[in-house]
Structure 1
Amino acid sequence: MGILHKLQVAFTIHVNLILLILPTISSSQEHMKTIGSHTSIKENKHKPSPKLQFEITLHGFLLWASMGFLMPIGILTIRMSKRQEFGRRLKIIFYAHAILQMLAVLLATAGAILSVKNFSNAFNNYHQRIGLALYGIIWLQVLVGFLRPQRGSKGRSVWILVHWLIGTAVSLLGVLNIYTGLQAYHDKTSRSIRLWTIIFTVQISSIVFFYLFQDKWVYIQKQGMTMCNEPPRISCQEIPADDKEKVLKAESC
Protein backbone atom coordinates (compact mmCIF):
# COMPACT_ATOMS: atom_id res chain seq x y z
CA MET A 1 0.00 0.00 0.00
CA GLY A 2 2.84 2.35 0.74
CA ILE A 3 4.25 1.96 -2.74
CA LEU A 4 0.85 2.47 -4.43
CA HIS A 5 0.24 5.56 -2.34
CA LYS A 6 3.59 7.01 -3.36
CA LEU A 7 2.88 6.30 -7.06
CA GLN A 8 -0.48 8.00 -6.80
CA VAL A 9 1.10 11.06 -5.19
CA ALA A 10 3.82 11.21 -7.87
CA PHE A 11 1.26 10.84 -10.67
CA THR A 12 -0.88 13.58 -9.16
CA ILE A 13 2.13 15.89 -8.93
CA HIS A 14 3.07 15.22 -12.56
CA VAL A 15 -0.49 15.88 -13.77
CA ASN A 16 -0.64 19.13 -11.83
CA LEU A 17 2.71 20.23 -13.28
CA ILE A 18 1.55 19.45 -16.82
CA LEU A 19 -1.67 21.40 -16.24
CA LEU A 20 0.35 24.34 -14.96
CA ILE A 21 2.84 24.25 -17.88
CA LEU A 22 0.28 23.93 -20.73
CA PRO A 23 -1.28 27.40 -20.31
CA THR A 24 2.20 28.92 -20.19
CA ILE A 25 3.21 27.17 -23.42
CA SER A 26 -0.02 28.11 -25.16
CA SER A 27 0.28 31.74 -24.04
CA SER A 28 3.91 31.90 -25.23
CA GLN A 29 2.89 30.41 -28.58
CA GLU A 30 0.10 32.97 -28.92
CA HIS A 31 2.57 35.71 -28.00
CA MET A 32 5.01 34.49 -30.66
CA LYS A 33 2.20 34.36 -33.21
CA THR A 34 1.24 37.92 -32.31
CA ILE A 35 4.84 39.10 -32.73
CA GLY A 36 5.11 37.28 -36.04
CA SER A 37 1.87 38.81 -37.29
CA HIS A 38 3.05 42.30 -36.28
CA THR A 39 6.37 41.69 -38.05
CA SER A 40 4.65 40.49 -41.21
CA ILE A 41 2.35 43.52 -41.10
CA LYS A 42 5.36 45.83 -40.81
CA GLU A 43 7.12 44.05 -43.66
CA ASN A 44 4.02 44.32 -45.80
CA LYS A 45 3.78 48.01 -45.00
CA HIS A 46 7.38 48.65 -46.01
CA LYS A 47 7.27 46.41 -49.07
CA PRO A 48 5.78 48.33 -52.02
CA SER A 49 2.95 46.88 -54.04
CA PRO A 50 3.61 45.76 -57.65
CA LYS A 51 1.83 48.87 -58.94
CA LEU A 52 3.89 51.21 -56.76
CA GLN A 53 7.08 49.38 -57.69
CA PHE A 54 6.26 49.82 -61.39
CA GLU A 55 5.63 53.54 -60.85
CA ILE A 56 8.95 53.91 -59.01
CA THR A 57 10.75 52.15 -61.85
CA LEU A 58 9.00 54.32 -64.46
CA HIS A 59 9.90 57.47 -62.52
CA GLY A 60 13.55 56.42 -62.42
CA PHE A 61 13.59 55.59 -66.14
CA LEU A 62 12.09 58.97 -67.07
CA LEU A 63 14.63 60.86 -65.00
CA TRP A 64 17.52 58.79 -66.35
CA ALA A 65 16.40 59.37 -69.95
CA SER A 66 16.08 63.09 -69.23
CA MET A 67 19.04 63.96 -67.00
CA GLY A 68 21.29 61.01 -67.69
CA PHE A 69 21.00 60.74 -71.48
CA LEU A 70 19.21 63.47 -73.46
CA MET A 71 20.59 66.43 -71.52
CA PRO A 72 24.28 65.35 -71.79
CA ILE A 73 23.86 64.44 -75.48
CA GLY A 74 22.37 67.88 -76.10
CA ILE A 75 25.38 69.49 -74.43
CA LEU A 76 27.78 67.45 -76.55
CA THR A 77 25.83 68.49 -79.65
CA ILE A 78 26.04 72.23 -79.01
CA ARG A 79 29.76 71.91 -78.30
CA MET A 80 30.18 70.91 -81.93
CA SER A 81 28.99 74.37 -82.99
CA LYS A 82 32.36 75.85 -82.00
CA ARG A 83 33.80 74.47 -85.22
CA GLN A 84 31.10 76.18 -87.30
CA GLU A 85 30.78 79.93 -87.62
CA PHE A 86 27.80 80.25 -90.00
CA GLY A 87 25.85 78.17 -92.46
CA ARG A 88 23.33 75.39 -92.66
CA ARG A 89 25.31 72.97 -90.55
CA LEU A 90 25.35 75.40 -87.63
CA LYS A 91 21.55 75.72 -87.81
CA ILE A 92 21.17 71.92 -87.79
CA ILE A 93 23.41 71.65 -84.71
CA PHE A 94 21.47 74.40 -82.91
CA TYR A 95 18.04 72.87 -83.62
CA ALA A 96 19.28 69.41 -82.60
CA HIS A 97 20.48 70.87 -79.31
CA ALA A 98 17.16 72.65 -78.72
CA ILE A 99 15.08 69.55 -79.53
CA LEU A 100 17.14 67.30 -77.26
CA GLN A 101 16.95 69.77 -74.37
CA MET A 102 13.18 70.24 -74.73
CA LEU A 103 12.63 66.48 -74.80
CA ALA A 104 14.73 66.22 -71.63
CA VAL A 105 12.63 68.91 -69.94
CA LEU A 106 9.36 67.22 -70.94
CA LEU A 107 10.49 63.82 -69.63
CA ALA A 108 11.70 65.39 -66.38
CA THR A 109 8.33 67.13 -66.01
CA ALA A 110 6.51 63.83 -66.59
CA GLY A 111 8.67 62.22 -63.90
CA ALA A 112 7.89 65.08 -61.51
CA ILE A 113 4.13 64.78 -62.11
CA LEU A 114 4.34 61.02 -61.52
CA SER A 115 6.21 61.64 -58.26
CA VAL A 116 3.73 64.24 -56.96
CA LYS A 117 0.71 62.12 -57.93
CA ASN A 118 1.74 58.71 -56.59
CA PHE A 119 4.52 59.12 -54.02
CA SER A 120 4.56 60.51 -50.49
CA ASN A 121 6.75 63.60 -50.87
CA ALA A 122 7.72 64.64 -47.36
CA PHE A 123 11.04 66.07 -48.65
CA ASN A 124 12.87 64.45 -45.75
CA ASN A 125 15.67 62.95 -47.87
CA TYR A 126 18.31 64.23 -50.28
CA HIS A 127 16.68 62.73 -53.39
CA GLN A 128 13.42 64.63 -52.99
CA ARG A 129 15.11 67.90 -52.03
CA ILE A 130 17.57 67.78 -54.92
CA GLY A 131 14.73 66.82 -57.27
CA LEU A 132 12.67 69.84 -56.21
CA ALA A 133 15.59 72.20 -56.78
CA LEU A 134 16.39 70.48 -60.08
CA TYR A 135 12.89 70.93 -61.52
CA GLY A 136 12.97 74.64 -60.72
CA ILE A 137 16.39 75.15 -62.31
CA ILE A 138 15.37 73.18 -65.42
CA TRP A 139 12.49 75.53 -66.20
CA LEU A 140 14.65 78.54 -65.39
CA GLN A 141 17.06 77.30 -68.05
CA VAL A 142 14.17 77.01 -70.51
CA LEU A 143 13.19 80.62 -69.83
CA VAL A 144 16.79 81.77 -70.29
CA GLY A 145 16.98 79.81 -73.54
CA PHE A 146 13.95 81.64 -74.98
CA LEU A 147 15.50 84.99 -74.02
CA ARG A 148 18.60 84.34 -76.15
CA PRO A 149 19.87 87.61 -77.67
CA GLN A 150 21.19 87.86 -81.21
CA ARG A 151 24.86 87.47 -82.06
CA GLY A 152 26.79 90.70 -81.73
CA SER A 153 24.39 92.31 -79.24
CA LYS A 154 25.58 93.79 -75.95
CA GLY A 155 23.96 91.20 -73.68
CA ARG A 156 25.14 88.20 -75.68
CA SER A 157 28.26 87.55 -73.58
CA VAL A 158 26.34 87.85 -70.30
CA TRP A 159 23.63 85.52 -71.60
CA ILE A 160 26.20 82.89 -72.64
CA LEU A 161 27.75 82.98 -69.15
CA VAL A 162 24.36 82.65 -67.40
CA HIS A 163 23.21 79.91 -69.78
CA TRP A 164 26.44 77.98 -69.22
CA LEU A 165 26.29 78.30 -65.41
CA ILE A 166 22.67 77.16 -65.21
CA GLY A 167 23.32 74.32 -67.66
CA THR A 168 26.28 73.14 -65.61
CA ALA A 169 24.20 73.23 -62.41
CA VAL A 170 21.41 71.24 -64.12
CA SER A 171 23.87 68.60 -65.34
CA LEU A 172 25.57 68.16 -61.97
CA LEU A 173 22.33 68.08 -59.99
CA GLY A 174 20.78 65.70 -62.51
CA VAL A 175 23.60 63.19 -62.24
CA LEU A 176 23.67 63.49 -58.44
CA ASN A 177 19.92 62.99 -58.24
CA ILE A 178 20.12 59.80 -60.28
CA TYR A 179 22.60 58.35 -57.79
CA THR A 180 20.43 59.38 -54.82
CA GLY A 181 17.41 57.95 -56.64
CA LEU A 182 19.11 54.60 -57.03
CA GLN A 183 19.85 54.59 -53.30
CA ALA A 184 16.24 55.52 -52.51
CA TYR A 185 15.08 52.67 -54.78
CA HIS A 186 17.30 50.26 -52.84
CA ASP A 187 15.96 51.49 -49.50
CA LYS A 188 12.37 51.16 -50.71
CA THR A 189 12.53 47.77 -52.40
CA SER A 190 15.65 46.18 -50.83
CA ARG A 191 16.85 45.28 -54.33
CA SER A 192 20.48 45.44 -55.39
CA ILE A 193 21.50 48.55 -57.37
CA ARG A 194 25.14 47.59 -57.89
CA LEU A 195 24.77 46.74 -61.59
CA TRP A 196 22.77 49.89 -62.41
CA THR A 197 25.24 52.06 -60.53
CA ILE A 198 28.17 50.59 -62.49
CA ILE A 199 26.37 51.00 -65.84
CA PHE A 200 25.42 54.61 -65.14
CA THR A 201 28.94 55.44 -63.93
CA VAL A 202 30.46 54.03 -67.12
CA GLN A 203 27.97 55.98 -69.22
CA ILE A 204 28.61 59.31 -67.49
CA SER A 205 32.38 58.75 -67.58
CA SER A 206 32.19 58.16 -71.35
CA ILE A 207 30.16 61.35 -71.87
CA VAL A 208 32.61 63.39 -69.77
CA PHE A 209 35.51 61.94 -71.77
CA PHE A 210 33.94 62.96 -75.10
CA TYR A 211 33.06 66.37 -73.65
CA LEU A 212 36.70 67.03 -72.74
CA PHE A 213 38.04 65.40 -75.89
CA GLN A 214 36.10 67.66 -78.26
CA ASP A 215 38.31 70.70 -77.67
CA LYS A 216 41.46 68.61 -77.75
CA TRP A 217 40.44 67.06 -81.06
CA VAL A 218 39.99 70.52 -82.60
CA TYR A 219 43.39 71.53 -81.24
CA ILE A 220 45.00 68.37 -82.66
CA GLN A 221 43.45 68.98 -86.06
CA LYS A 222 44.66 72.59 -86.07
CA GLN A 223 48.16 71.47 -85.18
CA GLY A 224 48.21 69.01 -88.07
CA MET A 225 46.92 71.62 -90.50
CA THR A 226 49.49 74.15 -89.32
CA MET A 227 52.38 71.76 -89.82
CA CYS A 228 51.11 70.76 -93.27
CA ASN A 229 50.68 74.37 -94.39
CA GLU A 230 54.03 75.63 -93.11
CA PRO A 231 56.58 76.24 -95.94
CA PRO A 232 59.62 73.97 -95.85
CA ARG A 233 62.52 75.50 -94.02
CA ILE A 234 65.94 75.73 -95.74
CA SER A 235 68.99 75.22 -93.61
CA CYS A 236 72.01 77.46 -93.88
CA GLN A 237 74.05 74.63 -95.34
CA GLU A 238 71.71 74.40 -98.37
CA ILE A 239 72.12 78.13 -99.21
CA PRO A 240 75.00 78.93 -101.61
CA ALA A 241 77.90 80.94 -100.20
CA ASP A 242 77.21 83.91 -102.47
CA ASP A 243 73.59 84.18 -101.30
CA LYS A 244 74.26 83.88 -97.57
CA GLU A 245 75.20 87.54 -97.30
CA LYS A 246 71.95 88.55 -99.05
CA VAL A 247 69.91 86.39 -96.70
CA LEU A 248 71.61 87.78 -93.63
CA LYS A 249 71.08 91.35 -94.83
CA ALA A 250 67.39 90.66 -95.52
CA GLU A 251 66.92 89.11 -92.04
CA SER A 252 68.66 92.06 -90.39
CA CYS A 253 66.34 94.46 -92.21
Structure 2
Amino acid sequence: MTVRITNIQRFSLQDGSGIRTTVFLKGCDLTCPWCCNPENLNFEIEDYNHNNKNESFGYDISLEELEKEILKDEIYYGDAKGGVTFSGGEPLLQIESLKPLLKNLKDKNINICFETSLSVSNNLLKIAIPFIDELFIDIKLLDKKEAKEVLNLDMDAYYKNLELINNSKIKNENITFRIPLNKEYTLKEENIKLILKLIEKYPNFKVEIFKTHNLAKSKYESLNKEFNSFSEINDDFVNEIYKKIKKINSNVRVISL
Protein backbone atom coordinates (compact mmCIF):
# COMPACT_ATOMS: atom_id res chain seq x y z
CA MET A 1 0.00 0.00 0.00
CA THR A 2 1.19 3.54 -0.75
CA VAL A 3 0.44 7.10 0.29
CA ARG A 4 1.10 10.25 -1.72
CA ILE A 5 3.41 12.83 -0.17
CA THR A 6 5.44 15.86 -1.24
CA ASN A 7 8.15 16.00 1.38
CA ILE A 8 9.66 14.54 4.55
CA GLN A 9 11.05 17.29 6.76
CA ARG A 10 13.48 16.25 9.46
CA PHE A 11 14.35 17.94 12.78
CA SER A 12 11.15 20.01 12.90
CA LEU A 13 10.73 21.93 16.15
CA GLN A 14 7.32 23.58 15.64
CA ASP A 15 5.25 20.50 14.79
CA GLY A 16 4.76 18.90 18.19
CA SER A 17 6.80 18.01 21.26
CA GLY A 18 10.51 17.34 20.94
CA ILE A 19 12.24 16.80 17.60
CA ARG A 20 9.79 15.79 14.86
CA THR A 21 9.89 14.11 11.49
CA THR A 22 7.14 15.86 9.52
CA VAL A 23 5.52 14.07 6.59
CA PHE A 24 3.59 16.30 4.18
CA LEU A 25 0.73 14.43 2.53
CA LYS A 26 -0.80 15.56 -0.73
CA GLY A 27 -4.42 16.53 -1.09
CA CYS A 28 -6.73 19.05 0.57
CA ASP A 29 -10.37 20.01 0.02
CA LEU A 30 -9.96 23.56 1.29
CA THR A 31 -9.26 26.75 -0.65
CA CYS A 32 -7.53 28.95 1.95
CA PRO A 33 -6.31 32.10 0.12
CA TRP A 34 -3.20 32.30 2.35
CA CYS A 35 -2.11 28.66 1.96
CA CYS A 36 1.69 28.39 2.12
CA ASN A 37 1.77 24.82 0.76
CA PRO A 38 -0.12 25.06 -2.58
CA GLU A 39 1.77 22.00 -3.83
CA ASN A 40 -0.21 19.94 -1.33
CA LEU A 41 -3.70 21.04 -2.38
CA ASN A 42 -4.21 18.86 -5.45
CA PHE A 43 -3.99 15.12 -4.78
CA GLU A 44 -2.64 14.57 -8.29
CA ILE A 45 1.12 14.65 -8.94
CA GLU A 46 1.90 18.02 -10.57
CA ASP A 47 4.73 18.63 -13.02
CA TYR A 48 6.52 21.96 -13.23
CA ASN A 49 9.68 23.47 -14.68
CA HIS A 50 12.39 24.83 -12.42
CA ASN A 51 15.52 26.37 -13.98
CA ASN A 52 14.79 24.53 -17.24
CA LYS A 53 14.53 21.23 -15.39
CA ASN A 54 11.33 19.19 -15.27
CA GLU A 55 10.32 18.38 -11.71
CA SER A 56 7.21 17.20 -9.88
CA PHE A 57 5.31 18.05 -6.73
CA GLY A 58 4.33 14.76 -5.13
CA TYR A 59 5.28 11.10 -5.25
CA ASP A 60 3.92 7.78 -4.05
CA ILE A 61 5.78 5.97 -1.29
CA SER A 62 5.09 2.55 0.17
CA LEU A 63 4.19 2.32 3.84
CA GLU A 64 7.25 0.13 4.40
CA GLU A 65 9.58 2.71 2.88
CA LEU A 66 7.92 5.58 4.73
CA GLU A 67 8.29 3.72 8.02
CA LYS A 68 12.00 3.24 7.32
CA GLU A 69 12.38 6.96 6.61
CA ILE A 70 10.62 7.88 9.86
CA LEU A 71 12.61 5.42 11.98
CA LYS A 72 15.89 6.87 10.69
CA ASP A 73 15.21 9.72 13.14
CA GLU A 74 14.08 7.58 16.07
CA ILE A 75 17.37 8.15 17.90
CA TYR A 76 16.58 11.89 18.07
CA TYR A 77 13.09 11.53 19.56
CA GLY A 78 14.38 10.55 23.00
CA ASP A 79 12.92 11.55 26.34
CA ALA A 80 11.45 14.79 24.94
CA LYS A 81 8.66 12.73 23.34
CA GLY A 82 9.64 13.64 19.82
CA GLY A 83 8.12 11.65 17.01
CA VAL A 84 6.38 11.85 13.66
CA THR A 85 3.92 14.54 12.56
CA PHE A 86 1.59 14.11 9.61
CA SER A 87 0.82 17.39 7.88
CA GLY A 88 -0.35 18.46 4.46
CA GLY A 89 -2.57 19.26 2.76
CA GLU A 90 -5.09 17.50 4.92
CA PRO A 91 -3.43 14.29 6.14
CA LEU A 92 -6.65 12.75 7.42
CA LEU A 93 -7.87 12.38 3.83
CA GLN A 94 -5.38 9.52 3.46
CA ILE A 95 -6.00 7.99 6.90
CA GLU A 96 -7.36 4.70 5.55
CA SER A 97 -4.10 4.12 3.66
CA LEU A 98 -2.01 5.30 6.62
CA LYS A 99 -3.66 3.05 9.20
CA PRO A 100 -1.26 0.03 8.91
CA LEU A 101 1.72 2.38 9.26
CA LEU A 102 0.21 4.08 12.31
CA LYS A 103 -0.34 0.70 13.94
CA ASN A 104 3.32 -0.25 13.38
CA LEU A 105 4.55 3.08 14.74
CA LYS A 106 2.30 2.79 17.78
CA ASP A 107 3.65 -0.73 18.43
CA LYS A 108 7.14 0.83 18.45
CA ASN A 109 6.01 3.56 20.90
CA ILE A 110 6.58 6.34 18.38
CA ASN A 111 4.73 9.54 19.32
CA ILE A 112 2.21 10.39 16.57
CA CYS A 113 0.92 13.89 15.84
CA PHE A 114 -1.51 15.16 13.20
CA GLU A 115 -2.09 18.67 11.88
CA THR A 116 -5.66 19.07 10.62
CA SER A 117 -8.26 21.58 9.54
CA LEU A 118 -10.99 19.04 10.47
CA SER A 119 -12.32 19.27 6.90
CA VAL A 120 -13.00 15.53 6.79
CA SER A 121 -15.87 13.19 7.59
CA ASN A 122 -16.47 12.04 11.14
CA ASN A 123 -15.77 8.47 10.03
CA LEU A 124 -12.25 9.29 8.82
CA LEU A 125 -11.47 11.08 12.07
CA LYS A 126 -12.67 8.06 14.05
CA ILE A 127 -10.09 5.90 12.26
CA ALA A 128 -7.28 8.26 13.27
CA ILE A 129 -8.12 9.00 16.90
CA PRO A 130 -6.85 5.73 18.48
CA PHE A 131 -3.37 6.43 17.10
CA ILE A 132 -3.06 10.14 17.91
CA ASP A 133 -0.89 11.35 20.79
CA GLU A 134 -0.82 15.04 19.83
CA LEU A 135 -3.05 17.14 17.61
CA PHE A 136 -2.97 20.58 15.99
CA ILE A 137 -6.36 21.96 14.92
CA ASP A 138 -6.69 24.99 12.65
CA ILE A 139 -9.02 27.82 13.55
CA LYS A 140 -9.52 30.00 10.49
CA LEU A 141 -12.91 31.50 9.62
CA LEU A 142 -15.78 30.54 11.91
CA ASP A 143 -18.79 32.22 10.32
CA LYS A 144 -20.58 29.37 8.53
CA LYS A 145 -21.32 31.26 5.33
CA GLU A 146 -17.88 32.85 5.04
CA ALA A 147 -16.09 29.58 5.87
CA LYS A 148 -17.97 27.82 3.08
CA GLU A 149 -17.52 30.59 0.52
CA VAL A 150 -13.86 31.37 1.21
CA LEU A 151 -12.45 28.08 2.49
CA ASN A 152 -14.94 25.46 1.26
CA LEU A 153 -15.19 24.41 4.91
CA ASP A 154 -18.37 22.92 6.37
CA MET A 155 -18.53 24.35 9.88
CA ASP A 156 -21.19 21.89 11.03
CA ALA A 157 -18.79 19.04 10.25
CA TYR A 158 -15.95 21.00 11.86
CA TYR A 159 -17.80 21.39 15.18
CA LYS A 160 -18.95 17.78 15.11
CA ASN A 161 -15.34 16.65 14.68
CA LEU A 162 -14.21 18.99 17.43
CA GLU A 163 -16.65 17.45 19.90
CA LEU A 164 -15.55 13.96 18.88
CA ILE A 165 -11.96 14.92 19.67
CA ASN A 166 -12.86 16.60 22.96
CA ASN A 167 -14.62 13.44 24.13
CA SER A 168 -11.87 11.10 22.92
CA LYS A 169 -8.88 9.56 24.68
CA ILE A 170 -6.58 12.32 23.35
CA LYS A 171 -5.47 14.38 26.34
CA ASN A 172 -6.68 17.99 26.22
CA GLU A 173 -3.21 19.26 27.08
CA ASN A 174 -1.89 17.57 23.92
CA ILE A 175 -4.33 19.41 21.66
CA THR A 176 -3.40 22.80 20.20
CA PHE A 177 -5.51 25.32 18.32
CA ARG A 178 -3.48 27.02 15.58
CA ILE A 179 -4.66 30.38 14.27
CA PRO A 180 -3.25 32.07 11.14
CA LEU A 181 -3.38 35.86 11.37
CA ASN A 182 -4.05 38.10 8.37
CA LYS A 183 -5.88 41.42 8.09
CA GLU A 184 -7.83 40.42 5.01
CA TYR A 185 -9.67 37.48 6.58
CA THR A 186 -9.01 36.02 10.02
CA LEU A 187 -8.44 39.28 11.90
CA LYS A 188 -11.79 40.81 11.08
CA GLU A 189 -13.49 41.92 14.30
CA GLU A 190 -16.43 39.51 14.08
CA ASN A 191 -14.14 36.55 13.37
CA ILE A 192 -11.94 37.39 16.35
CA LYS A 193 -15.03 37.39 18.59
CA LEU A 194 -15.98 33.93 17.32
CA ILE A 195 -12.43 32.67 17.79
CA LEU A 196 -12.29 33.88 21.40
CA LYS A 197 -15.65 32.26 22.08
CA LEU A 198 -14.41 28.93 20.69
CA ILE A 199 -11.15 29.06 22.67
CA GLU A 200 -13.13 29.77 25.83
CA LYS A 201 -15.21 26.63 25.23
CA TYR A 202 -12.10 24.43 25.28
CA PRO A 203 -10.00 25.95 28.09
CA ASN A 204 -7.56 23.05 28.39
CA PHE A 205 -6.44 23.17 24.76
CA LYS A 206 -3.25 25.07 24.00
CA VAL A 207 -3.26 27.96 21.51
CA GLU A 208 -0.68 29.11 18.96
CA ILE A 209 -0.98 32.16 16.73
CA PHE A 210 1.17 33.07 13.75
CA LYS A 211 1.31 35.61 10.94
CA THR A 212 0.61 34.42 7.41
CA HIS A 213 3.27 35.38 4.87
CA ASN A 214 4.00 35.75 1.16
CA LEU A 215 6.93 33.31 0.97
CA ALA A 216 5.06 30.75 -1.14
CA LYS A 217 4.80 33.05 -4.18
CA SER A 218 7.32 31.05 -6.23
CA LYS A 219 5.38 27.82 -5.59
CA TYR A 220 2.20 29.40 -6.92
CA GLU A 221 4.06 30.62 -9.99
CA SER A 222 5.50 27.14 -10.61
CA LEU A 223 1.98 25.71 -10.48
CA ASN A 224 0.47 28.53 -12.57
CA LYS A 225 -1.88 29.33 -9.72
CA GLU A 226 -3.08 32.76 -8.67
CA PHE A 227 -1.12 34.13 -5.72
CA ASN A 228 -2.85 36.28 -3.10
CA SER A 229 -0.54 38.81 -1.47
CA PHE A 230 -1.30 39.72 2.14
CA SER A 231 -0.65 42.90 4.10
CA GLU A 232 2.17 42.90 6.62
CA ILE A 233 1.01 42.72 10.23
CA ASN A 234 3.17 44.47 12.79
CA ASP A 235 4.18 42.79 16.03
CA ASP A 236 2.14 45.22 18.14
CA PHE A 237 -1.03 44.02 16.47
CA VAL A 238 -0.08 40.38 17.02
CA ASN A 239 0.62 41.17 20.67
CA GLU A 240 -2.83 42.73 20.97
CA ILE A 241 -4.45 39.48 19.79
CA TYR A 242 -2.15 37.52 22.09
CA LYS A 243 -3.33 39.54 25.10
CA LYS A 244 -6.99 38.99 24.24
CA ILE A 245 -6.47 35.24 24.10
CA LYS A 246 -4.29 35.29 27.23
CA LYS A 247 -7.22 36.62 29.24
CA ILE A 248 -9.19 33.42 28.62
CA ASN A 249 -6.38 30.90 28.06
CA SER A 250 -2.97 31.32 29.69
CA ASN A 251 -1.40 28.59 27.53
CA VAL A 252 -0.99 30.69 24.38
CA ARG A 253 2.14 31.55 22.44
CA VAL A 254 3.22 33.30 19.24
CA ILE A 255 5.11 31.17 16.71
CA SER A 256 6.62 31.59 13.23
CA LEU A 257 5.77 29.13 10.48
Identify the TM-score tier after normalising by the shorter chain.
under 0.3
TM-score by length of 1: 0.22
Task: Give the number of the structure whose residues are more often strand, by fraction.
Answer: 2
Choose between structure 1 and 2 for higher RCO, CA contacts under 8 A separated by at least 6 residues.
1
Rg larger for: 1
